Amino acid sequence: MTKFYSINAFFNLSLTAKGVILFVIFILFSTVDNYSQENFKVVIDAGHGGKDPGRPNKNGIKEKHIVLNMALLLGEKLKKRGVEVIYTRDEDIFLSLRQRAKIANDADADLFVSIHCNAFHDSSVYGSETFVYGLHVSQANFDVAKKENEIIFLDDHYQIDKETYSPTSTESLIGTTLMQEEYLDQSILLASFIQNNFTKNLKRKNRGVKQSGFWVLHNTYMPSVLIEAGFMTNSKEGSYLNSKKGQVDVANSIYDAIIKYKSIINPSLVNENTSIETTDKSISSKGNINIIYKVQISASSRKLELKSYNFKGLSNLSRIKDGNLYKYFYSSSDKLDLIKEKKKYARSKGFSNAYIVGFRDGKLFEVD
């Protein structure tokens, strides 16, 4: 009877009173929904800009405009999903490589995504590729990095001796390498999702996930990728990249990859009540893009910073909240055999009870 009385009482109120009550209820539910999710921050970096038009080409296309459009489209989609988006630039302005990295680091972002288009003297070359930071690279990959790094000479405020600095020198790229290598596996994971979407959804030629010495990646302290969405110097691909459809397609593919990455690296951001499934004995040791394996190294009621010094020197760490416990994981791969080796290594570091778990569609299950 009490419920019916309350409902009747509500209908007897004036329209103004009803409106106030409904508004308060809406605000409360919105607040609870937003509060229940930790902020997941993505810094989106539209390459080049201002006095730096981007890679030269004979088709009259300006890279700086194409990638800005892609960045803004991507950001709007992510915002609608509740992701906090920070742009390095949202207009046609010049930013140094260090400024871009500083924006990401100051924001303490979870991801840094830099969007570019490629160019080559041979106009028949086409396809997309995604880079992560690394110094052990092929000459071809290093040549791509050199071209992107040459923006440093356009920075009037960069404090180096520009007569002695050379973007063609490997030594010039070494600085905070160890900091970026800590996130290498996670960067590769995101890059593989991006390339998979480009290939399967957009039917683009897959030039692969590669490592190279990009300054803007080398100076960011979080998982970071640099996307070369295609070649402007190829007339067909250049026209596609310069079209509204092409820019929407590329933005959507990157968006889907980020959401998938987010659900795997930190499932609690997608579903606060992480469900635990039983062991799936049918899991193959072959790669499966729908299952990501990790090594669970500990569980605690304390929320620890994901720093190597908290985990006996291990890097590539992740964490979920399951009920009242925080569960901590080491490494991440869709290759079970690789994770088995990582488990051995974790045990050798002192995590004697480490075991393998898997994530499928954001849900955790035990493997061994």
pLDDT in tens, 175-185: 334 344 557 77
Long-range CB pairs of 278-283 (<8 Å, 24+ gap) are: 278/365, 278/366, 279/365, 279/366, 279/367, 279/368, 280/358, 280/365, 280/367, 283/336, 283/358, 283/367
Which of 8-17, 36-45, 88-97 has maximum average pLDDT? Answer: 88-97
Rank 151-160, 194-203, 213-222 by mean pLDDT and report only the highest: 194-203
Residue 314 has pLDDT above 80, yes or no: yes
More confident position, 264 or 329? 329
> For residues 348 and 182, what is the distance between their CA atoms, to the nearest angstrom?
19
Q: If you classify domain 41-265 with CATH, what class do you get?
A: alpha beta
Residue with tokens 């992480």: 274
154 touches 94 (CB < 8 A)? yes
Distance CA 263, CA 366 (A): 17
Global model pTM greater than 0.85: no
User: Which architecture, in CATH terms, is 269-366?
Assistant: 2-Layer Sandwich (3.30)
Amino acid (1-letter code) at residue 94: F
Angle at 268 between CA 266 and CA 273, to 5 degrees: 155
Strands 111-118 and 41-46, by their bridges, are parallel
Query: Residue 118 in contact with residue 126, Cβ under 8 Å?
Result: no
Give the pLDDT confidence of 159-199 residue by residue, as tens digits: 443 333 344 433 333 333 434 455 777 888 899 999 999 99
SS3 content of the chain, % helix, strand, coil (to 5): 40, 20, 35
Alpha-carbon distance of 42 to 224, in angstroms, equals: 10
CB neighbour list of residue 79: distance below 8 Å, 6 or more residues apart: 85
pLDDT tier, 218 (very low <50, low <70, confident <90, very high otherwise): low
Most trustworthy range by pLDDT among 175-184, 307-316, 340-349, 356-365:
340-349
pLDDT band at 118 (very low <50, low <70, confident <90, very high): very high
Choice among 132-136, 140-144, 225-229 with the minimum mean pLDDT: 140-144
